[in-house]
Amino acid sequence: NCSVSDTITLNATVSVIANILGNDTLCSGACTVLDGSGSSGALSYQWFEIPSMTSLGTNDSITVCPPSGSTGYILITSNGACSDTDTIVVVVNNLPVADAGNDTTVLIYNSATLGGVPTGPPGSTYSWYPNFALNDSTLANPVATPTTTTTYYVLVTSAQGCTALDSVTITVIPEIIFPNGISPNGDGQNEYWIIDNIQLFPNNHVEIYNRWGEMLYSVDGYDNANVKWDGTYKGQPLPVGTYYYIIDLKDELYPEAFTGPITILR
């Protein structure tokens, strides 16, 4: 019997599976890592943006910072003649526009409404802080009644989870207090008429009269320091008695002049 033999070599191919891991939803300005290291059987990697097929790198992972909208990416993994692909579409949402409103000045115990019109896009949520002296820190336009100057911050979160921050300062003018008397007798106590907080209104004008309507004192820029009344007229002490003041703060917050009595005691 005759026989013939031959041999053949079969090379087993490697299974290649491409796999992309990464965030597929971002907020404007953010970057993300597209990770292909979980691919199996791969010896080489090629990343492209689609549909332009712009080459982005040959490492197993890349960092991308896509623009607003949707951007596609493809990973091609290879091992010899075998290859596989995987794709991912990254959606980038716009940031909300946070508007805390304009800086405002109010008199103490008065209120101001915070936030612009609108404070943020429809569907947004709001968080104002600090949350004291607010009627509701989760409103788009809360009402603030601070007793001291306060800067409020608003964090606006869009329906897509993107955030933006803005701030507004509410300047609070404290109460102006007019003492009803002075005792300029040289004992170092109550020698001058000290008007609490008048220095906050540097354009103020102060006048003092006697009971017959004669002007005894007139000055601009009363400040309790360099400019303050000591109960004299033309350098001479005035007699004990009641006098009358007119004070114009010359500020839109106080459109009316203040008037009242002041008594000199010795």
pLDDT tens per residue, range 92-105: 999 999 999 999 99
- What is the CATH code of the structural domain delimited by 25-93? 2.60.40.10
Per-residue CA distances from 179 to 17, 66, 245, 263, 264 (Å): 86, 66, 11, 9, 11
Whether 263 shows a pLDDT value over 80: the answer reads: yes
- What is the CATH code of the structural domain delimited by 104-173? 2.60.40.10
> Which DSSP letter does residue 21 get?
B
Whether 41 shows a pLDDT value over 70: the answer reads: yes
What's 181-264's CATH class? mainly beta
Whether 104-173 shares its CATH topology with 181-264 is answered yes
Whether 14 shows a pLDDT value over 70: the answer reads: no
Give the burial class of 214: count Cβ atoms within 10 A of its Cβ; 0-12 exposed, 13-18 middle, 19 or more buried. exposed
Over the stretch 168-199, which tens digit does the pLDDT of each residue have? 999 999 999 999 999 999 898 999 999 999 99
pTM of this structure? 0.76
What pLDDT was estimated at residue 13? Answer: 60
Task: Pick the closest to residue 196 from 218, 217, 174 (CA basis).
Answer: 174
Residue 62 and residue 34 in contact, taking contact as beta carbons nearer than 8 Å:
yes
Residue 138 and residue 71 in contact, taking contact as beta carbons nearer than 8 Å:
no
Q: Which residue ranges make up each domain of the chain?
A: 25-93, 104-173, 181-264
